[in-house]
Every structure is written in C-alpha cells, then in structure tokens.
Structure 1
Amino acid sequence: MKYFLLNSLSSDLKSWLIYICSFCILAGCSQEISVPKTKSIDHFDEYHGQKVSDPYRWLEDFTNDAVKEWVNEQNDFSKQFTQNKYQTSIKKNLESIWTSEYLSTPYKVQGKTFYYFNTGKLQQNKLMVKDCDSCIERVLIDPNQFSSDGTIALASASVSPDSKWLAFAQSDGGSDWRTWRIMDIENGQIMADELSWSKFSGAEWSPDSKGFFYRKYPIPNGEELSDVNTHPAIMYHALGTEQSMDRVIIENKEDPLLSWSISVSDDGQFKILYTTKGTDERNLVSIGRYDESFTPIIENFKASYTFIDSKNESLWFLTNENAPNGKVVRLDFGDLNAGFKDIISESDLPIRDVDMINQKLIVHYLEDTFSNIKYFSEEGIENGSLQTILPGTISGLSGKKDDVEVFYSFTNFKQPSQIYKLNLLNNAQELYWEEKLENFKSENYVSDMVFYPSKDGTLIPLHVSHKKGLALTSDTPVLLYGYGGFSISLVPRFSKRFLAWMNQGGVFALANLRGGSEYGKNWHEQGMLLNKQNVFDDFAYAAKFLHSKKIGSPHSTAIQGGSNGGLLVGAVMLQNPNLFGFAIPQVGVMDMLRFNKFTIGWGWESDYGSPENLEDFQNLYSYSPYHNIQDGVCYPPTLITTSDRDDRVVPSHSYKFAARLQNLQGCENPIMLRVETRAGHGAGKPRNKQISEIADIYGAAMSFIK
C-alpha cells in the first residue's frame, strides 16, 4: 500500500492532501482522500512570563455544531484506513470470541448470592440474584432494557445489609454522571426515589437498611460534560423521600477541592470518614460509633489509610505511613490516645489489598505483578496461604469476618477467567465456573515475563504473550501496551482484545512502568511529578529491548495506551518518532497546561503537578504532547481515539492534538482521529461498540506494520 503526499502552503498553515492507491486491497479501485482542514486561530496564554500558542483552542467547545461537523469529517477520513481486510478478519474473530459467557465473582448478602452475567451476545451485563443456594437464579436488573442501543449502563449497585433493597446507578452514554434509583429485591419494584448529579460515588448503606450515603455535586452552571467538578458533599438519603430532603453529612464551601467518602463497618458499630484531594492517595481519617459524631484520627495529608474491618473495640487499617509497601495496623477505639499498633509489618512485597474473612486477615501481595495471598491471625501471625496452580491474578476475594466460604476469580494473560469456591476452614477450593471460548485452548499460547533495563538502569517487568510456535523476527507485529501513573498496577489478565491481536500473528507486550504501584509507593513516586520522564523512558526502552531480541522492529511495532496511557503514547511517539510503526493514543491527556480546567482534571495535579507552579509548568511543558509536536518531523501513522461524551478526559484533548499533528506532520504517514458517539471514557461501553472500536484500531495498525 503506497501513500503520496501533496503539500500546499498558505500564509498561516500548511494543508496537505493524501492520495491512496489501494490496488483493490480496500475498495477495489483507487480513491482520493483529503485530510480535513482545521482552521487555526491565533491565541496565546502566558505562563510565568512565557507566551504559549494554542491555535486550536476553539476545539475545546466540543459540543459546538462547528466542532461536531469537524469531527464528522475526521471520522470519514479515518474510515479510509480502518476499513480493510485486517479489520474484517479481526472483527470476525472478535464476534466469535465475544460469544462466550461471562460471570463475575459472586458475593453473598444475608444468604442471597449476587453476580453479573452475560450470554456473550448482550450489549450489557445483567445483574442476577439467587435467593438461596438451591434457588434458581433470576434477573434482578437487565440494563439492556434501559435503551435500544445499549448506551445506558448499570454503573454501580449496592445491596442493603438486610438484603431487601438495591441502590443502583445508571450512566447515560458513558458519562461519569450517575443517577441513583432503588429497587425492592423481593419483587423487583423500582421505587420513586431518584437521585441526580452524583459522581465518583458508591452507595454506603446505614446499618438499619433505611437509607444510604452518596456523593453529590452542584448542578453545573454550564456544559455538564466539561464544567469543573468541585464542592462535592456527602449526602444521606432516606428511603421513600425526595432528593431535596436528603441530609448533608459533610461539605466544605471554603475549600472546594476537598472530597469525602464514608464506610460503615460490617457489624454497623462504626462509621469511617475519609477526606481526600483529587487522586492523591494520602487522606484524612475520622471515626465514630455509627450514631455518634466523628473523631479525627489522621489530621494531616501524610499517608494513605484504608479501613479493613472492626471487631469489638478494635479497628484494623491498611496504611503506607512509614511503610511504602504497606502494613496492617490496629486502633483501639476505647483508647484512641494509644494510637496505631503494627499488626502485620511491611515486607519486601507490596500489599494490594486486605480483607478480614473467617476471623483471618487475608493479605493480597504482589510478587513481580502476580498475586500472592497469605493468611494472618487477627494478631498478625502468619498461618497459611492460598495456592494456585498457575501464576496469575486473583480478584474478588472478599467477604465478612464470619464467612466460611467465599468466591474468588483467577486469570492470567492466557487463562480466561475462572471462579473458585474457597472454604477457609480447611483451605479447600473447587472450580465453580470458567469462561470457555470457542476454538480456544490455553496451551496454544505462551506468556513469559522478563526484566529489561530502562534508561537509568532500573529493571522493568515486561510480559510477552503470543501464539505458541510463532516465529519471532524483526517483522513480527508487536503491540506494546502501558499506563504508568496514579499508583495503578497493570496485572496479568486475560483480554479478548489482546487475544484478537495475537490471533492475527502478533505479539502482545505489556510493560509495568514506573508510576504504577506494582512495587509499592516508591515505584509510584519514581514515575510522578518531576519524575514523569522516567515513565516515558521506561516505555521507549521496552520497545528497544524487544527489538534487540528480534521481537519486532521500529517498522512493525505499534504502541497503545488509554487515558494517562494516552498521554504516555503521545509523549513517547513525539520523543521517539523513529521507534514505532504505529501509535494508538486513546482518550489521552494531551494538553498538559489545561488538563486542570475541565471536570475532575484538577484532581490529577497530585500526579502531574500544576501549571500554575513554575517548576511544574516547566516540567509539564517539556513533555505535553500538544505542545511538543515539531514542524516537519515525520511521525508514525497515528490513530487517535476518543468519545464525544467523555467527561473524564474531555475529547478536546484528542481533538487539539490531532489537529496540530495533522498540520505539522512532515511526511506521508496519516494522522487519524476516531471519535465514538454516545460513549465516554470507556466504562459502560456496549458490546457492539467495543468490537467495532477494537477491530478498527487493530485493523488500521496491522495494515501499516504487517
């Protein structure tokens, strides 16, 4: 496939035309395709005495008709590259893969068992319930009935302590905004209660099951998909009342950036109030008996504290104070002045989470990204572990301190989800359910983990997966994936989208970059704020390592990442334009000088820094994708993706990046923008949209690198 470039220059911008000769590969005849023209308007902002150009500021008004028309032109342009024989093959394979049944890890409340289920053909997962162990399951909520196109999703669900009520939240078109409703679990009747303008919130029930706590934001003054979200409040809603009657539990009008959440102990004796700022892990903690006022326990933002459970007057917490890998501590409510007592000391392995089940502290460690589950007594004495046949990731292992049996899920890069029933009295486990994919055998794939040195010599884990018997050469298509931020760990999980890539003869590689928490708090800190460049170097050096082992090469390697990972791909492709054959930045944070001006973006300053601070500005400006595109440099073919209702990372980030990259591109490699409609940052996206998006993205990538 050949591309020919025609440049024509005007006074203030360069526009160009690409002609594609498909030789009957795509449409059976040659076809002229022009890159959409994007108007440039002189605009400058001043940061710390430095003027910064922002010629595509007008694209920030992403609900404007002119911007929508521009988006339609961009989508039409990108379709010329996404619709090809690879896309057809991948989509067919995904349709087959996606027919397998899905079951989430079951959990019990008062003898009832709840879980999500999908036949493999439904747009959204159903919420199911079994009223007793021997009862036939029944549908509790079918979100496929919410809308004809499957774009209204069931975003959250919380069962009351007495198992009589269900609080559930709906999300419209992928938005982070939630509307809460209440259902009578016994008869399925939905109550009149309707709670609007909730975000980033669950429903925490009161011990008497007569109401719940939730987070509510003020009604936006302007565009609800872009207005800055501040001044939240924790509300209490009593069943059967109007939202206007909800009681304010806590708010702070003087500090609009503070946010809160409440936990109630399983026995209903205590309530725990967390105070946070943005995505900063560090928090304040107050506790109290449920029917009494709160007492501050942690009054400075110095560390992270997470409540585990309580028994009598004792409360257990997971914290990283003076313990970067985490430790378990206990507090005596009857003697608060005594402070916290170490119960399980910090170890060489970082703690992912802790639960108290069957009078045991069950600690989930990460060992080189794989799950390692150990049991401890309430006093911190180690007394066993959970053994798995293969290394992988355990999730859903939760319950109450009196539970004897619980469920957990297991997976890794080549093992579809399995659900086990675990008896904690004798540590016996049995396979309860497993996902079965058509024409798939795990033994036909291989997945290995290696370590490679980054630019500064730090060893980084890299998982490499592909079909068994695949000849690994410099021409092998490689998909390199990463994230690297916000203390989020990428752990081994089976993925249908990555399976589809491997089924095309490709290698999937996942790098555990600094910025995550795969190795605790220190690993996160090495990839945040002024250390952010470490993350970009880690990613680039992953590609260099693979190429040195003859696993792909610059011309056959595609890079992919979403959200903070979209920033990763954008920054790395600009810093290393000759290292990759294709780039896929998805829903990325691309304008690092204005990310804090929209929705919840201000909350990311804990990881990125603030443009209003000189040192942070200089750092952000040095790698901001939107601001670091060089005129005339040849960048790899790039498919930028976003959604028109993304109110987490607003789509204008991707719009502005695409417009500037198209204008300054120095060679014939196309810069494409794919914008999904009736979708948001990713959560709640229906089955058909997921399949189409994956097929388009990987189809385009394969056409350039294979």
Structure 2
Amino acid sequence: HEAWFTYTDFVTPTRVLRFDGRTRRVTGWEHGARSAPEAEGAVTRQVAFPSRDGTTVRMFVISPTGRPDVPRPALLTGYGGFGQIMSPRYRPQILAWVRAGGVFAWAGLRGGGEEGEEWHLAGSGANKQNTFDDFAAASDHLLAAGWAEEGRIAVMGSSNGGLLVGAALTQEPEKYAAAVCRVPLLDMVRFESSGLGPSWVPEYGSVRDPAQARTLLGYSPYHRVTPGVGYPAVLLAAADGDTRTDPLHARKMCAALQHATSGSGPVLLRLERGVGHGARAVSRVVALEADCLAFLAGRVGLPAPGGVAP
C-alpha cells in the first residue's frame, strides 16, 4: 500500500516523498535527507508566445511575485538541442537570482524534446536557425509582457546552450546587456575536428556536405564576429580537461570578440584547470556559478541580496 517518489522544481531541491494508498496521504520520507529549505520569494509561471514564424513556444518564468508587476533585470537561458527536455528541476542559481529581485526565464526551444521528436527535428540540422529565432522571440516577449526592462536582459548557456548564446550575441548583439557562454561550441566549421565533434554530425550536419556546410557557416558564431560591432559584455568559461567541447572554441571566440568589439563591456575568458565538461567538486560548482551570476548581475544592475552591489 506504499509508494515512494521524488519531487523537484526550479526552486525546490529533490526530495523523497511517501504515498500511503490506504489514507491517500503524501508525507516526507522520514529516512530521507534533512528538510529542504523553503523556496520563498520565487514563483514559477509557464507562458507561451509566438516565435518569428508563428510557432508557439513555451517558457518558464521565475520571479519574486509570479507576475510582471515591474520590469526587472532578466536572465534568459535555454538549450534547444539533441532532443533534451528542460523540465523543471532544482537549480540554486535561479533562486539566488530571483531572491535578489531579478527574473529568471527558461525557454523550451525547438531542437529540444519538450514537444516531442518533431520539435527536436525542427531545431536541428538545416533547421537550426529556428532555435535561435525562438530564443530571440523569448527575449522580445520578456520585454513586451513587462517582465524585463530594456537594456537589462542577460543570457547564459552551456555546451549546446553555449552555441545558442554565441548565436544570440552575434546575430542580435544589441538585444543583450551581457552574456555568459560556458563550455561552448562556437566554431561550427571545425567542430568535427576535436572532442566528441564527429558524434554530433547527426544533430548539426557536416562541412563535408556542401549544403550542410553553408548552413553551418551561416550561423557559426565565431565566423559571424564582425569588427566594429558593439557586442555586449561577454564571459566565456572553459575547462582545460573538456573532452566534449574543446576549450579552443572559447579561446578563439574570446580573442575574436576582444579584437572586434566596439562595446564598452569586457570580454573575458575564465579557464578552469583540472576539470572537464561537467562534473566537478561542489566547491568548484559554487565558484563557477558565483562568478557567472556576479558578472551578469553587475552588467544589468541587479544588486546582491542585502543591497550590496555585486
């Protein structure tokens, strides 16, 4: 008569719950971890908006009140690749951002698996630009609906999400005040030459195919960097032991942006030594998240909790 299951959302750490079929009551499992902290001051809403071709895209918006009461500094992120589903799960950086008074938005872009396999295919290969258009439309919606304030939108993404951010800041740099691009793919003409690149040909295509090469070159962030453009402040984070996305992507992009930008914001490279693409000690996770959030908060004017400027 008993069943156990886990529950999590964007602001609630994973916890084990017990269901009693006789009483139909759900209680915390007494043998589980200590009680999770209360996720006060953060409310999640799911919104829908049209992308540039009219396709309906959905997005989770986490804010202090759950409504667009006043325009706030916003942090927009997404992934949009490999059929991955960006379902709600606990991410402490979201709670930190929202408790400081900001809005955190997570968009379910084409290329992901949120709406099924057709949704995935609609944002991969020759259709990859749809992913970037969805992301740009998400930014537009945050402004139009009153969640965010003009000039105070930051973007962040990792891995394939780093490619997403790279495309966003090179296609429409005026939209964003700052960007964090972590362990990214950015040179899409040579991504097959390093790391796990060859295994991603089914997702992105190959430069060995002339038609696919034109598509890749058309959106490759590294190749779209243009001298004299006012790019936003950018932090590129890489790891020297990354065997998935070689740190060469972040290094090259950093050099190209530093040479090209006419913007006033910094372009920085954060190179972490002795770790790879994802897993790392908790202390290193905290350091990485703190650096990224502080960088973005400083550019959009989001004060640290307690009113201390980041």
Q: TM-score, normalised by structure 1?
A: 0.41
Q: Is it true that 1:514 corresponds to 2:95 in the alignment?
A: no
Question: Does the CA-based 8 Å contact 1:559-1:584 persist in structure 2?
Answer: yes
Deviation at 1:598, TM superposition (A): 1.4
Could you tell me which residue of structure 2 aligns to residue 687 of structure 1? 282
Structure of larger gyration radius: 1
Q: 3-state DSSP class of the match of 2:214?
A: helix
- Secondary structure (helix, strand or coil) at the match of 1:578 reads helix
Q: Is residue 579 of structure 1 aligned with residue 190 of structure 2?
A: no
The amino acid across from 1:686 in the alignment is A
- Ranges of 4+ aligned residues in structure 1 off by more than 4 Å: 422-429, 469-472
Q: Is the helix fraction higher in 1 or 2? A: 2
User: Which residue pairs with 2:75 in the alignment?
Assistant: 479
Match of 2:184 in 1: 588
Give the drift of 1:445. Answer: 2.1
| Cα offset, 1:579, TM superposition | 0.5
Structure 1 distance, partners of 2:201, 2:66, is: 46
Q: Does 1:449 align with 2:27?
A: no
Does structure 2 retain, via aligned residues, the 8 Å contact 1:417–1:494? yes
Please give the secondary structure, in 1, of the residue aligned with 2:211. Answer: helix
- The one-letter amino acid paired with 1:607 is E
Greater RCO structure (CA 8 Å; 6+ sep): 2
Q: Would you say 1:407 and 2:13 are equivalent positions?
A: no
Distance change >3 Å, CA 625–CA 486, structure 1 → 2: same
Give the conservation status (yes or no) of the 8 Å contact 1:585–1:640.
Answer: yes
Give the match's secondary structure for 1:502.
Answer: helix
SS in 1 for 2:284: helix
| % same residue | 36
SS at match of 2:256: helix
Distance 1:511 1:651, change over 3 A: same
Q: 2:126 is paired with a residue of what secondary structure?
A: helix
* Contact preservation (8 Å) 1:472, 1:552: no
> Which structure 2 residue ranges, 5 or more long, are not aligned?
302-310
Cα 1:689–1:614 shift into 2, 3 Å: same
Whole-angstrom CA distance in 2 between matches of 1:537 and 1:612? 26
> Relative to 1, partners in 2 of residues 1:463 and 1:471: Cα closer, same or farther, differing over 3 Å?
closer
Distance verdict in 2 for CA 1:435–1:508, change over 3 Å: farther
C-alpha deviation, 1:549, in angstroms: 1.6
- Structure 2 distance, partners of 1:656, 1:472, is 41
**What is the identity, as a one-letter code, of the residue corresponding to 1:464?**
V
Q: Return the offset for 1:680.
A: 0.9
Q: Distance in 2 between matches of 1:689 and 1:442?
A: 24
The answer to whether the aligner puts 1:553 opposite 2:152 as a matched pair is no
Aligned pair partner of 2:164 in 560, 565, 568 = 568
Q: Deviations over 1:124-178 (max 9, x none)?
A: xxxxxxxxxxxxxxxxxxxxxxxxxxxxxxxxxxxxxxxxxxxxxxxxxxxxxxx
Distance 1:436 1:506, change over 3 A: farther
Report SS of the residue matched to 1:442. coil
Change beyond 3 A, Cα 1:427–1:470:
closer
Give 2:275's aligned amino acid: A
**Deviation at residue 644 of structure 1 after TM alignment:** 1.1
Unaligned runs of 5+ in 1: 1-403
Q: How many residues align?
A: 299
Q: Distance in 2 between matches of 1:450 and 1:471?
A: 12
- CA-CA distance at 1:668 after TM superposition: 2.1
Tell me the CA shift for residue 430 of structure 1: 3.8
Q: Are the aligned partners of 2:52 and 2:133 in contact in 1 as well (CA < 8 Å)?
A: yes
Aligned to 2:56: 459
**AA in 1 matched with 2:98:** M
Task: Say whether residues 1:504 and 2:100 are aligned partners.
Answer: yes
Instruction: Give the Cα separation in 2 of the matches to 1:411 and 1:466.
Output: 17
Q: Distance between the aligned counterparts of 1:605 and 1:492, measured in 2? A: 28
- TM-score computed with the length of structure 2 as normaliser: 0.91
Contact 1:584 1:640 in 2 (8 A): yes
How far apart are residue 414 of structure 1 and its match?
3.0
**Corresponding residue number in structure 2 for 1:538:** 134
